[in-house]
Structure 1
Amino acid sequence: MQDTKLKPTVAGPKVRVLLVEDEVIFARAVAKRLQQAGYDCEHAETLADGRELARQFNPDLALLDMRLPDGNGLDLLPEFVTRGVSVISMTAHGEVADAVHAMKLGATDYLKKPVDLEELLLTIEKAQAATKLKHHLDYSRQRNTHATEGVELLGDSPAMSSARAQIERFAQLVAFSDAIPPTVLIQGETGTGKDVAARLLHLSCANSDRPFVHVDCASLPAELIESELFGHEKGAFTSAQGSRFGLIEAAEDGTLFLDEIGELPLALQAKLLNVLERRMVRRLGATKEHPVLARFVAATNRDLHQMVLEGRFRSDLFYRLNVLTMNMPPLRERGDDVLLLARHFAAQTERRYGLEPRPFSVDAARMIRHYGWPGNVRELKHQISRAVLLSRESQIMPQDLALPGMSISPVEMIREPDSGVTLDTAEKMLIENALRQSGNNVSEAARQLGITRMAMRYRMERHGIKP
């Protein structure tokens, strides 16, 4: 084994390259050029030396000759691929079959001998970019898999039962057909759980192990959204230093969720329509198109039909998206679901921070039930988490909720009493509530009820109330 390891003399990425090549003169030329480019290189002349050096050197990339003194490079290639090493195979003229076989075994690329050193550097750069993108997509897939674990639509109201039934029906339409999955449009106010419905739709399909890519059209900068969605080739614009998949391609044969699609600029609406119609995507600066296998789910809190009438949304895209539609109901229309969700979010926060479980007081529960929740489930989750973290009582009280512009007056507290309530019972409830809201300050409670402190004391004694 000949050691031609050269320390880089110029700044550059410290990518470790293992060269397995029996032509020593060629190997030295490659090692010298890699050093000039800033790579770290080791050289082995045989399969056995290459296998041993790989264990010691732990390369990022291998340049592997197919014809070696002790065998074929194809014998070593699977070991490199299993270790996560990118492989570029090098074949002599007339050995194209070996190159094809190498690609099937997992090689990233191949070169024909005699190898041009500048072409070699470009091929290495492409291989590194492809490896980086693969790692990124693998991470994204794992992250989205974790993000979809335990996803569910909570609630027993008729509206939520209908939403779950729609999701199951849409999933069945995909399962029983080999055709292109129809698009789904989810409508609803902000915070109603449109993203949860989209994830459930993905999980209900046969390809639930494939990527779920969430694109927030409202948060992407206008100057970047086209590149993010469609991808770009190197040099497509000033800052495009390399080629990059777009999010449409990154979704592979999984689900692409276009959240707040009503915010998509008109120019990009036309490009998206083209993708939906032809199921092909072209990166910025590219001439080649790539097939699109993903299913599309879109969501909006806007009235897209009204936007079409106003010229702010393309009618053809609206009709293309409006194939299967579902509406997520606002929280104010879901009845007692709000209390079920509040208890769920409280328990979540308590588990996350290791807190003792505490119930909502009767007054707090009624306040939660009566509040309009303009921010829907998202607002409820944040307010309940805040109340759980800040409350110091044995119960979560109305003041812990700190709902804007919301307070339950003593009169409101007895609007929904059990049947058979008496005047004495109602008076006792009013006094107890006034004391709670005043922090057991008798004078303040009396002021709230519009009576004197002496009258307050008299009524407290009559009802057996002790602050």
Structure 2
Amino acid sequence: MLSNDELLEAGEAGATPAGAARVLLVEDESLFARAVTRRLDSAGYACEHAMTMAQAREAIGRFAPDVVLLDIRLPDGQGLDLLPELNSEARSVPVIVLTAYGEVEDAVRAMKLGAADYLKKPVDLQELQLVIERVLRTAGLKQKVDYSRSRESHRSHLSDNIQMLGESAVMRAAREQVTALAALAGSGLAPPPTVLIVGETGTGKDVAARLLHRAGPLADRPFVQIDCASLPRELIEAELFGHEKGAYTGAQGARAGLLEAAEGGTAFLDEIGELPLDMQAKLLNVIERRVVRRVGATRERPIAARFVAGTNRDLPAMIAAGQFRADLYYRLNVVTLTMPPLRERGNDVSLLARHFAAQMARRYALVEPAFQPEALAALQRYHWPGNVRELKHLIERAVLLCQGRSIGPDDLGLPAPGATRAVAGDADAALPIASMTLDEAERWLIERALNKVRGNVSEAARRLGVSRMTLRYRIEKHGLRGSIDE
């Protein structure tokens, strides 16, 4: 611990830059405040200091802090009175409470009011910096999870008009299989069979899962889509299974997990091949026993939901490589639904192109364009590595470019006949890697893979032999976000 007399000297110490997070210090002791702000400034934070409740309220609105360091006793009131304002629905700012009195009652009240953590004065500045970093990291992960939940909630309201378009034999067979499987959800008291939906990226596995849910007796129940590839690794267990209050730092209240939220409906585990091995074992237990135990809980909760999983990965190959549990695969693979790639669907390409053109024209209030015969022929010739998703994005771009006139082959931006094979080939003899540094070679390979699959991260990760989360990290590292299709 450092005394106030030592704080100014300690404030000169450097620290590892922590980014440009904004820290608001609400503290009426000027000597202590100077030491803290100088230390955090040197660590790369943007700091602002308020000495009263009134100054704090003004700074909160203007400065928009990412974290607040809050003294309990201030000249014009109790600092804890700010906590409800900082933890409102409109504003959620993590708060670290500072108190010179070390009273247990103060700390307990602060945590009940939603404080992320508390520290007693005199404060160890190194410990303070570590606590700030931990709180900011947890808040960032929570924000990602909350965004994922709100996005899924929004999607559920838009899912009434779900279609699996296509007149090809393979698509008619897929629709018939979905209809038959949907009806099985209402057969007596037995839980419906698990379904594994397989297919290349962009083939519409999520559409099939939603139609499977809405075509049967579960249509009015919850449909929860869980993207296993995008769940934060640090919070994946709590996100899937839920947590009790105080189970970990930042768990300020009990919360149901996504599997529990699907009670009575359907839980769709998309990108199941990206789920870590330890979570695979726990998921298997949930599916087998139909119970879930929240993180930090001592009792299990029953769960009645239909489990549907989707993947573009070769799960048997992953099992052989020790990357996926065989017992979970056999449990999921009770019934398999295969989504065909677009290149095997014949004239469905033209049907879907017209459908997407009409859809995009309505979205952007444009005249629906017609397709020139040469454009339709080019669409039919193309190999479609990104499948239906790639087609949809390509047509959206063409509708915006053509500005009401008919869509020609030049509006599509497809490679010339024969170019697709050259782009997708592996003419590695001419690769310039030998003259590159390791970082340069890695960046070149990732950019090349993304270009081949038109920015599809999942497909690029599969081709590079890494997980989707690993590839996303390296895309950020090399500044290649402009190369990906969100």
TM-score over 0.5 for the pair: yes
For the 8 Å contact 2:372–2:406, the answer to whether it is kept is yes
Q: Which residue of 2 aligns with 1:274?
A: 285
- Secondary structure of the residue aligned to 2:255 is coil
Sequence identity of aligned pairs in percent?
Answer: 57
1:238 equivalenced with 2:254 (yes/no): no
Aligned match of 1:226 in 219, 232, 237? 237
Aligned AA (1:254) = G
Aligned match of 2:318 in 304, 307, 310? 307
Aligned match of 2:203 in 168, 182, 192? 192
**Separation in 1, partners of 2:403, 2:183:** 49
Aligned match of 2:258 in 240, 247, 265? 247
Unpaired runs of 5+ residues, structure 1, are: 1-8, 13-34, 41-59, 61-117, 126-134, 410-467
**Separation in 2, partners of 1:149, 1:232:** 31
Q: CA, structure 1 residues 316+244, in 2 after alignment: closer, same or farther (shift >3 Å)? A: same
1:357 equivalenced with 2:372 (yes/no): no
Aligned AA (1:350) = A
- Secondary structure of the residue aligned to 2:309 is strand
1:406 equivalenced with 2:412 (yes/no): no
Q: Which residue of 2 aligns with 1:159?
A: 170
**Separation in 2, partners of 1:333, 1:316:** 32
Q: Which residue of 2 aligns with 1:130?
A: none
C-alpha displacement of 1:252 = 1.7
For the 8 Å contact 1:175–1:206, the answer to whether it is kept is yes
For the 8 Å contact 1:144–1:211, the answer to whether it is kept is no
Aligned AA (1:243) = A
TM-score by length of 1: 0.58
Deviations 1:68-109 (A, max 9, x none): xxxxxxxxxxxxxxxxxxxxxxxxxxxxxxxxxxxxxxxxxx
C-alpha displacement of 1:178 = 2.0
For the 8 Å contact 1:191–1:378, the answer to whether it is kept is yes
Q: CA, structure 1 residues 184+387, in 2 after alignment: closer, same or farther (shift >3 Å)? A: same
Aligned AA (1:269) = Q
Q: CA, structure 1 residues 211+159, in 2 after alignment: closer, same or farther (shift >3 Å)? A: same
C-alpha displacement of 1:142 = 6.0
State the superposition RMSD in angstroms.
Answer: 3.4
Aligned match of 1:375 in 374, 386, 390? 386
Alignment of 1:447-458 (within 5 A): none
**Separation in 2, partners of 1:169, 1:227:** 34
TM-score by length of 2: 0.56
Q: Which residue of 2 aligns with 1:289?
A: 300
Q: Which has the larger radius of gyration?
A: 1
Q: Which residue of 2 aligns with 1:320?
A: 331
For the 8 Å contact 1:255–1:295, the answer to whether it is kept is yes
C-alpha displacement of 1:210 = 1.4
**Separation in 1, partners of 2:147, 2:410:** 46
For the 8 Å contact 2:367–2:404, the answer to whether it is kept is no
**Separation in 1, partners of 2:365, 2:211:** 29
Q: Which residue of 1 aligns with 2:353?
A: 342
**Separation in 2, partners of 1:217, 1:155:** 28
C-alpha displacement of 1:234 = 2.1
**Separation in 2, partners of 1:289, 1:308:** 29
Q: Which residue of 2 aligns with 1:78?
A: none
Aligned AA (1:276) = I
C-alpha displacement of 1:339 = 0.3
For the 8 Å contact 1:359–1:396, the answer to whether it is kept is yes
For the 8 Å contact 2:152–2:225, the answer to whether it is kept is no
- Secondary structure of the residue aligned to 1:297 is strand
**Separation in 2, partners of 1:298, 1:148:** 18
Unpaired runs of 5+ residues, structure 2, are: 1-52, 58-77, 89-106, 115-145, 420-486
C-alpha displacement of 1:322 = 0.5
**Separation in 2, partners of 1:141, 1:307:** 29
Q: Which residue of 2 aligns with 1:107?
A: none
Aligned match of 1:213 in 224, 228, 238? 224
For the 8 Å contact 1:367–1:408, the answer to whether it is kept is no
For the 8 Å contact 1:137–1:250, the answer to whether it is kept is no
1:180 equivalenced with 2:176 (yes/no): no
**Separation in 2, partners of 1:137, 1:221:** 11
For the 8 Å contact 1:141–1:212, the answer to whether it is kept is no
**Separation in 1, partners of 2:362, 2:378:** 24
- Secondary structure of the residue aligned to 2:399 is helix
Larger CA deviation: 166-175 vs 317-326: 166-175
Larger CA deviation: 235-244 vs 201-210: 235-244
- Secondary structure of the residue aligned to 1:148 is coil
**Separation in 2, partners of 1:142, 1:184:** 23
**Separation in 1, partners of 2:227, 2:147:** 19
- Secondary structure of the residue aligned to 2:188 is coil
Q: Which residue of 2 aligns with 1:396?
A: 407
C-alpha displacement of 1:370 = 0.6
C-alpha displacement of 1:182 = 1.2
Aligned AA (1:375) = G
For the 8 Å contact 2:198–2:339, the answer to whether it is kept is yes
C-alpha displacement of 1:354 = 1.1
- Secondary structure of the residue aligned to 1:229 is helix
Alignment of 1:76-115 (within 5 A): none
Alignment of 1:14-53 (within 5 A): 38=81
For the 8 Å contact 1:144–1:212, the answer to whether it is kept is no
C-alpha displacement of 1:124 = 9.8
- Secondary structure of the residue aligned to 2:357 is helix
C-alpha displacement of 1:385 = 0.5
Corresponding residue pairs, total = 299
- Secondary structure of the residue aligned to 1:185 is strand
C-alpha displacement of 1:145 = 3.6
